[in-house]
Amino acid sequence: MPRALITHNCEVRVFLPLYRCIPEKYKTNMTYRGSFMMDLCSDGRQFYVGIMETVMDGVVYDFIDNREFFDWGNPYTGLWEDIPKYCYFDKAVLAALNFLEWTPDVVHCHDWQAALVPLYLRTRFDTTPVGAARCILTIHNLRFQGICGIEHLKYWTGLPDFLFDYPVLKQNDDEANMFKGGLAYADRVTTVSATYAEEIQTSFYGEGLNGHLWYHRAKLSGIVNGIDVDLWNPKTDKLLTAPYDAGDVLTQKKLNKTALQTRVGLDIDENKYVIGLVSRLTDQKGLDLINAIFSEILDPNTQVVILGTGDPRYEGAFRYYESVNKGTVCAYIKYDEALAHQIYAGADALLVPSLFEPCGLTQLIAMRYGTVPIVRETGGLKDTVLPYNVLDNTGNGFTFDRYEADLLLDAINRSKDVFENDRSHWDEMVLRDMAKDVSWEQSARQYLALYEELSDLA
């Protein structure tokens, strides 16, 4: 999104921790912008804040450097370690903006890791230059909230006691919730699809914060994500056997299908119906539904290829299905970027039957590659996939509503019927998918309108 925003004359800076795992090729292009000491904890304990900067595609990236917090482990280690890490980061970003003498109109924060920024902005930084900025907090996945002991958070933030009450940070008698506090103090709250914005105000999707979000509903809205259409471009994708665009997709996609079948050990037949699954193997992704009907999905004309890692029970189940269906099923239980691209290009359809899906990217990538999505009508899946209507030949995918295995099987069977018995309409759907704008452009326009509205209110 930052790259899309700068095409609209926005000045954009992105702040990130200087994680140790960032590849060295990026670190060598960073410039030291300065450093200072910052008080953080309730006892006045101070920490070093370094600022390293680089520019890519016109966007300025500032990295907060502190080896004590960011020079070990993975970006997300464990909640006990992560709470101090992001308390430090949230305050350090605002302090760095003042240090750089760069005051934004809007500070846009993402998920619980940045949820303390609105609270710091309106308390510790309220009378500083950055205190003039408005603040947006975006929910990418409400399941993760930054919940910890109240005293633990009080110590590491140094925030005033009045914030640790039920309307803001207090979760229960003993715990505080960073996301809850940020949602209360942000000027606007967005999430990554309009449907998810409605869903999280209900008990099923609200992860315990549905009442809090309903209370703040006047400032809550949804804007669907986009994808990087330069990275995900079948015409220039060097990982494909046969690059293509809408002009030659109907012929070139068959070549990619054959290459995919060859690579993963499926029987080679360009007329087979190949269903792909590229996913984390977790409950959220609807894999229990797939597991319940897997044997019914298979028939002499259908093949399934699975790519992903996650819950051992799903890894084991998919390995078993491969072992008893050699040539028909491939379960590739590891991360493989090249294979992901090849599945998007070589499969005919992509399964995304999620229990919940704030936005979803795989269905957007699939459409970009002319692969028809089969999705459950939830979150961003509902907002981006229009169900196929056989009567007027409209829609760009196959959908089902209730979270039931039989309904998923019905959606798959409907897709098979069109693929096998009405290929001309299937091909038209492929072309509609490729014509759909899945870039960041529309999202950037909507966010820009929101930024301008907030700036006018300042």
Query: Which contiguous run of DSSP H or E holds residue 64?
Result: strand 59-65
* Two domains, one topology: 2-225+441-457 and 249-435: yes
Pairing verdict, β 134-139 and 46-56? unpaired
Q: Rounded to whole angstroms, what are the CA distances from 308 to 165, 276, 278, 345, 417?
A: 42, 11, 6, 17, 28
CB 114 within 8 A of CB 90: yes
| Mean pLDDT per 10-residue segment, the chain (458 residues) | 93 96 94 98 96 95 96 82 96 98 97 98 98 97 96 97 97 97 98 98 97 97 96 97 97 97 97 97 96 97 97 97 97 96 98 97 98 98 97 97 98 98 97 97 95 85
The conformational region for residue 243 under phi > 0 = left, psi -120 to 50 = alpha, else beta, is beta
pTM here is 0.94
Query: Rounded to whole angstroms, how far apart are CA atoms 357 and 103?
Result: 35
Radius of gyration of the chain (CA): 24
Task: For residue 173, give every residue at least 6 positions away whose Cβ sits within 8 Å of its Cβ, in sequence order, or none.
Answer: none
Query: Rounded to whole angstroms, how far apart are CA atoms 366 and 347?
Result: 9
Cβ-count burial of 383 within 10 angstroms (0-12 exposed, 13-18 middle, 19+ buried)? Answer: buried
| Range list of H helices, 15-116 | 24-27, 67-70, 79-99
The percent of the chain in helix, strand and coil, each rounded to the nearest 5, is 40, 20, 40
What six digits make up the tokens of 160? 């005033």
Q: What is the pLDDT of residue 7?
A: 92
What six digits make up the tokens of 156? 């590491």
Q: Which amino acid is at 274?
A: V
Query: Which of the following CATH numbers is that of domain 249-435: 3.40.50.300, 3.40.50.2000, 3.40.50.10540, 3.50.50.60?
Result: 3.40.50.2000
Specify the CATH number of the domain 2-225+441-457: 3.40.50.2000
pLDDT per residue as tens digits for the range 300-341: 999 999 999 999 999 999 999 999 999 999 999 999 999 999
Task: For residue 294, give every residue at least 6 positions away whose Cβ sits within 8 Å of its Cβ, in sequence order, or none.
Answer: 304, 317, 321
Q: What is the pLDDT of residue 366?
A: 98
What six digits make up the tokens of 438? 């899945």
Domain ranges of the chain: 2-225+441-457, 249-435
